[in-house]
Chain A
Amino acid sequence: MQLKPLARSLAAALSIVVIAGCSSTGGTQDGDSYGSQDGSTTGSSTSGTGTGSQYGSTSGSGAGQQADSRIPEVRTIYFDYDRDTIKSEYESVVMAHARYLRANPNARVVLHGHTDERGTREYNMALGERRAGAVERFLNIQGVSPSQMSVVSYGEERPAVNGQGESAYAQNRRVVFNY
């Protein structure tokens, strides 16, 4: 189960490094909110809230030097327009996640693929999946078991920042590692 939005953004804001309690169930399906007769969904999955405060230590170490027992701090990599190639500057980030996942066979990661807002929504879903899939293949080549990884494309539906222009678009073309 993922952290809920508030907890997720708090975690990001505080630069919290480790949220170990959430790693083991990453990628499992949450069916709680399905089936309500009135068609509304409620935020029923709130179990992630507050776990961040248990692990408040921040670390200044770079991605390359992190102990493999910790989820790497950098969890977002960015892409060029209309490309799914992992840029060389982000290879060390992906390698750090590969080391962590190899060292922790019970850890699971959901790779969230995102695009900028240009173009049609469903086509962008496909492009976001391509980006996340490229990261999944890279991790696999680095020896990460496919059973530890899954891919969810959000297309252009969850921009990291609003607004037009290349600086906003560049921040939205991304793959996020979710443990």
Chain B
Amino acid sequence: MQSLNKIWLFCVLLFVSSVASANLTIEITRGSDQALPIGVVPFAGSDGLPEDVAQIVQDDLERSGYFAPLARGDMFEQPSQSDDVQFGTWRSLDVRYLVVGTAEQTDGGFELQFELMDISGQRRMMGETVTVRGNDLRGAAHYISDQIFEEITDIRGAFSTKIAYVTAQGVGDDMQFGLYVADADGRRSEQVLTSDEPIMSPAWSPDGTKLAYVSFETERPAIYIQDVATGQRVKATSFEGINGAPAWSPDGRSIAMSLSKDGQPEIYIMDVANRSVERITNNNSIDTEPAWAPDGQSLLFTSDRSGGPQIYQYSMGGGEAQRMTYTGNYNARGRYSPDGEQIFLIHRSSRGYQVARQDLSGDRLVVLSESTRDESPSVAPNGTMVIFATQQGNSGVLSAVSADGRSSFRLPSAQGDVRDPAWSPFLN
């Protein structure tokens, strides 16, 4: 049984980029008591390089909640290749895994070598040479994190993914909104849209090249589709009333959305190629926040047809939508896990609005977050973490909790409110 006093609290602030930007920093708020102890030795030759690759790898692994890295100051020695690793030394530090490596500047970029050691098994588990073109040391570090994570956990790493999110500053009629895309660790953020009218509900296309989102730039809501790399975009829908909650189908051909053009907000599916829309729900109530099952065969959505908002599931085969949630009187914004077996949602508990998980096959609901003003859960493509928006003091911040609720971290922003996160699919 998990003992509360064994939960580790870390406060790790990453170096804030020297240039002013909307980068998010990371604060680990809850560490899992089941995290695996690992040592990530500084890579030999990395002094003077623009990025500390081993530190990025260490932070990635720690943020996942699966690993508890050894502090650098506690390392007696700093080997850079497997032949030099003294297993006894690391065993005495209770380290189970060790990462060693080298970094070298080359003509066109960098060459990184890393090896992963199983300390208790006294063996080399894997090693790889990574060629970096240009300056993308951060990308290479996230790639190395992905390899190490998968080798040890058998779960595909999601460190090379992105998050999209919305920022807001000001109040009332005097507000500024921004849509950003950043690395999954909040760094290297890039602005993709600014507006003095609201921006909402970014959603990634399944190939990770496009974002659909809601923008009020014409002083009413419309859904736009924007190519992330080029910035080119089209207005996809601007029906009378609500144009909201876009969600791409797994094959990328359709976008489910909520439109109120016929009165109440109803779920529609738009054909991306010809922009025609087909109505899915037909009900004198609110139907919104659709999400596709990974196999594309069903949709979750929020409806208040039973009174308050609850999660329903619609099968593409037709028939009546089935109510999925029965715990409490407010369950909204459901999202499937990548294996399609669980849903993550916002649940109103006695404490407030919290991120919760429920098995699709049962009706037992488990609250995951400790914060109480949560919104907009979005699941990592490997299913290990859920990123969501919450409040810290009077500011909107992004936070993430592991799917088992054991570990969590926060991504505060230096300025303004941050909300509406969307975790990208795998990008490689």
A contact residues vs B (CB 8 Å cutoff): 2, 5-6, 8-9, 29-31, 33-34, 37-41, 43, 117-123, 125-127, 129-130, 150-155, 157-164
Contacts and interface: CB of A to CB of B under 8 A. Distances in A.
Contact of A39 (B221, B231, B348): B231
Interface string B243-254: 011000000000
A129 B218 CA distance: 17
B288 A122 contact: yes
Contacts of A2: 219
B29 to A, nearest CB: 20
B289 A120 contact: yes
A164 B242 contact: no
A120 to B, nearest CB: 4
B376 interface: yes
Contacts, number: 133
B217 A158 contact: no
A33 B260 contact: no
Contacts of B258: 122, 125-126
Contacts of A29: 218-220, 238
A31 to B, nearest CB: 6
Contacts of A151: 241
Contacts of A43: 196
B407 to A, nearest CB: 24
Chain B interface mostly: strand
B145 interface: no
Contacts of B197: 41
Contacts of B16: none
B80 interface: no
A126 B288 contact: yes
Contacts of B200: 121-122, 125, 155, 157
A119 B174 contact: no
Contacts of A119: 309, 330, 332, 346, 348, 353, 375
B358 to A, nearest CB: 16
Interface string B227-240: 00001110100101
Given A120-B333, A120-B346, A158-B198, A126 B265 contact: yes
A8 B302 contact: no
A42 B411 CA distance: 29
B349 interface: no
A120 B332 contact: yes
Contacts of B244: 122, 125
B180 to A, nearest CB: 12
A67 B316 CA distance: 57
B175 A153 contact: no
